[in-house]
């Protein structure tokens, strides 16, 4: 049952990305270009995501545990440190330059294979670099 719900959730998420055109970097960059040729259409996508997230919080607050897990896994840290700010800034700059964030970037492997390959390879390299740096710090 867990695998089926996970698959269905991923399918709905991917369908939402495709229908909203979040998989099209031109649309994403158009949304981020507020001082140029701005495309406000993704505001509705953002509004829908916030609404679904709010429903999720209501469900979480009313249930002692999730349907398919033993407990809720919720972040407990609330501090804002330099790593959080730097990571968010790097994510934003990368998203703004490429028009891809990780989910839609994976779809580029089929929509635009060469560009998708470069994006996914860079994503893997950046993740490996982060892992290497954190592993080195803990030793």
Residue range 68-103, pLDDT digits in tens = 889 998 889 999 999 899 989 999 998 888 888 888
The model's pLDDT over 16-54, given as tens digits with 9 standing for 90+, comes to 888 888 888 899 899 988 999 899 999 999 999 999 999
Tell me if 17 sits within 8 A of 104, measured CB to CB. Answer: yes
Structure tokens at 34: 């507020």
Residue 32: CB atoms within 10 A of its CB come to: 16
Domain coordinates in residue numbering, the chain: 1-74, 78-139
Tell me if 22 sits within 8 A of 104, measured CB to CB. Answer: yes
Q: Tell me the whole-structure pTM to 2 decimals.
A: 0.71
At residue 80, the 3 state secondary structure works out as coil
Indicate if the pLDDT at residue 59 is higher than 90: yes
């Amino acid at each position: 049952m867990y695998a089926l719900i996970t698959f269905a959730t991923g399918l709905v998420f991917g369908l939402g990305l495709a229908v909203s055109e979040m998989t099209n970097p031109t649309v994403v960059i158009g949304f981020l270009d507020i001082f140029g040729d701005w495309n406000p259409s993704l505001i509705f996508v953002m509004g829908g995501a916030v609404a679904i997230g709010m429903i999720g919080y209501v469900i979480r607050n009313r249930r002692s545990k999730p349907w398919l897990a033993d407990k809720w896994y919720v972040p407990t840290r609330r501090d804002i440190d330099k790593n959080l700010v730097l990571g968010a800034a790097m994510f934003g700059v990368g998203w703004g330059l490429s028009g891809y964030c990780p989910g839609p970037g994976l779809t580029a492997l089929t929509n635009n294979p060469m560009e998708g390959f470069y994006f996914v390879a860079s994503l893997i390299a950046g993740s490996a670099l982060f892992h290497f740096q954190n592993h080195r710090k803990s030793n």
